[in-house]
Homo-oligomer: A and B are copies of this chain.
Amino acid sequence: MDLDLVFLGTAASVPTASRGLASALVRRGGARLLLDCGEGTQRQLMRSTGLAELDAIFLTHLHADHVMGLPGMLKTFALREREAPLLLVGPNHLKRFLRDSYHLIGTLPYDVEVVETAGGEVWAADGASMLAIPTEHGVPSVGYVLEEEDRPGRLDVEHARALGVTHGPDFGVLQRGDDVTVEDGTVVRAVDVVGESRSGRRVVYTGDTRACSVVRDASRNATLLVHEATFLQEDIVRANKTNHATAEEAALTAAAADVGMLALTHISSRYLTRDVVREARDVFPGAIVARDFDLIELPYPERGAPQLVPGGGRPTRVAVDPT
């Protein structure tokens, strides 16, 4: 099943000409999951992957730079006469934010299921689930972990045939992990012909947080860790004071958790991007600093490593309004 992540906004607190406010889109099979929804997110989607009928929106915390795109997006879905229900997940204060936005959003023609969470499973579909994990940002905040179930091991068809399996449906029975009895009465055990179960993929998205053990533990062997990196180590005091992480801290977390790939986001305009890259790579070689519309492809582990496609979220041909 295809899985990728597109960065829609990679700026910290304030947008710049080149970086929008926090948001990322996860696409898994037909599922469209939005992580954070900073001001301008609906338009960033229109400028890249298209504004799909999102299944769910997951907010990490209720600071303006992570949520101000939500009322307008809910309104746009309404103007497009959306009917499909929408799941809206966030930490404590999410419902207050929606109440406060009522005069702007109005009544919606589709159902919105609102879930406030401090941790635990908040969404599941097609063999994957989204877990909220508590983060440390000085306000109610969570990160999110998209985790796939293990997939069954690979059936060794030749070996099964050699043991006497000939009846077509028996191969399916074995693949599902059940034993079969073949024509001569022999029992062929699944465990003898099916390899070890194969692990699924795991994507961790921190939102804003200081470096913390919960993120590190949740990231152990993760396929991809998307970590905030608002500061450089030279400003560690300010990072601590504002409950943010430095690029070095994010890289140390990635190294300790032995993740497959580290992508930094929530990048402040006070630094040159290359300095953020350098600080992270000193600790975790191969770390990348995301830019708007960068795409990360996440194949199943046996098919290859995660792959950064710079600007890959953009359409190959930009639609231009003809005059």
Q: How many of chain A's residues have a CB under 8 angstroms from any CB in B?
A: 48
Instruction: Report A105 CB to chain B, min CB distance, Å.
Output: 7
- Within the oligomer, what is the number of copies of this chain? 2
A64 with B68: in contact, given A40-B43, A323-B273, A323-B277 (CB under 8 Å)?
Answer: no
Chain B CB within 8 A of A316 CB: no
Chain B CB within 8 A of A20 CB: yes
Chain B CB within 8 A of A321 CB: yes
A-B contact pairs, 20 of them (CB 8 A): A15-B46, A16-B46, A18-B321, A21-B72, A39-B42, A63-B104, A64-B72, A64-B75, A64-B104, A64-B105, A65-B72, A65-B75, A67-B104, A68-B72, A93-B103, A97-B104, A272-B321, A272-B322, A273-B321, A273-B323
Chain B CB within 8 A of A90 CB: no
Write out the residue numbers on chain B whose beta carbons fall within 8 Å of the beta carbon of A322. Answer: 272-274
The answer for the CA separation of A247 and B274 in the assembled complex, in Å, is 49
Q: Which of A302-323 contact B (CB under 8 A)?
A: 318-323
Q: Which residues from chain A sit less than 8 Å from chain B, CB to CB? A: 13-21, 39-40, 42-43, 46-47, 62-65, 67-69, 71-72, 75-76, 79-80, 93, 96-97, 100-105, 269, 272-274, 277, 318-323
Query: Is the Cβ of A69 less than 8 Å from the Cβ of B273?
Result: no
